[in-house]
Structure 1
Amino acid sequence: MSWIWYLLHLGNVPGGVQECLQIEWCKTCAQAHRWHEECKLLKVEMDHVKRMLEHEANLWMLHAKSVVEGAALINAGEGAGVYAKHQAAIQTLMRLSFEEKWRFVGQWLELGETGNTLARIEDILTID
């Protein structure tokens, strides 16, 4: 249990102030837990975006190959194959751009997770 619950009085401070401090502590603790959860979700969402873009690029490359293989049969021009390759390149460039922009986000998130910082803060504020 946190030290804030053991404090009976803060000198000449009225009891209502103590209750306000306890309420603010609860709000702050809840906010810290929400922020921690958001950080975990951010990592998952970033991974999903990168995998989706890679998957889309692979689909466009498969489409380009099927267009080239089928072009002789239907006498199609190279345009559809070039378009599919261009779309694959766009997806790949988007993924690489995100990876470049997000290159430090994982490290920043790890700083907060090292030794479970949230649990350490709660331990510091807890009296057995």
Structure 2
Amino acid sequence: MVMTCTTDQHDHHDVYAAQCPCREVLDLLANKWSALAIGAMEEGPQRFGALQRRLEGVSPKVLTNTLRRLEERGFVDRTVYPAVPLHVEYALTPLGRSVAEPLAGLRHWVEDHLDDIAGATSV
């Protein structure tokens, strides 16, 4: 039996279904570099170097792959400006802006509760 991501009772996607494409999107958005890149672009379009400096610790390869995946899924627009050297900017699309708010809430929750989490793991 092949699992789908809709149910007979409801015409919506079910992220808990094994074959639901929702899982790929959840995997992308739950990735720390995706969540941080989206947060960095909330301030407006960013060049690659600016994103790499803002996302301390990300390698150029991982950032490139993250931005490509976000662009492929429609969360980010990549604009190339003809210049020497090439000028490339990344910006959130309306879809990207719509997911930025819940991701910001998660980032703020983690920052606000890190001491509680650290305390719970040291007991």
Where relative contact order (Cα < 8 A, 6+ residues apart) is larger, the structure is 1
TM-score scaled to structure 1, two decimals? 0.28
Task: Choose 1 or 2 for highest CA Rg.
Answer: 1
Q: Which has the higher helix share?
A: 1
Q: Which has the higher strand share?
A: 2
